[in-house]
Amino acid sequence: MSVESALQARFSARAFTAQEPDAALVQRILVQAAQAASGGNLQPWQVIALRGSALEELVTAVRQSPADDNDNTQSYPANLWDPYRSRRYKNGEDLYASLQIGRDNKPARLEQLAKNFSFFGAPVGLLICVDHRMGNAQWADLGIYLQSLMLLATEHGLATCPQGFWRRYQSGLKPFLNLPDAYMVAFGVSLGYADMSAPINQWRADRAAPQEWLQLRGF
Q: Was domain 3-72+81-207 assigned CATH 3.30.2290.10?
A: no
183-192 sheet: strands from edge to edge: 46-51, 124-131, 183-192, 159-163
Q: What is the pLDDT of residue 71?
A: 66
Going from the C-alpha of 141 to that of each of 102, 127, 138, 219, the distances in angstroms are 37, 15, 5, 29
Does residue 39 contact residue 188 with C-beta atoms inside 8 Å? Answer: no
Condensed to tens digits (0 to 9), the pLDDT of residues 161-214 reads 999 999 999 999 999 999 999 999 999 999 999 999 999 999 999 999 999 999
Condensed to tens digits (0 to 9), the pLDDT of residues 66-123 reads 888 776 778 888 899 999 999 999 998 999 889 898 888 989 888 888 888 999 999 9
CA 144 to chain centre: 13
Distance CA 39, CA 71 (A): 25
Domain boundaries, the chain: 3-72+81-207
Q: What is the pLDDT of residue 66?
A: 83
For the segment 34-47, the average pLDDT, to the nearest whole number, is 98
Phi, psi of 204 (to 5 degrees): -130, 135
Distance CA 170, CA 68 (A): 7
Question: Does the pTM exceed 0.85?
Answer: yes
Q: What is the pLDDT of residue 2?
A: 96
Does residue 138 contact residue 44 with C-beta atoms inside 8 Å? Answer: yes
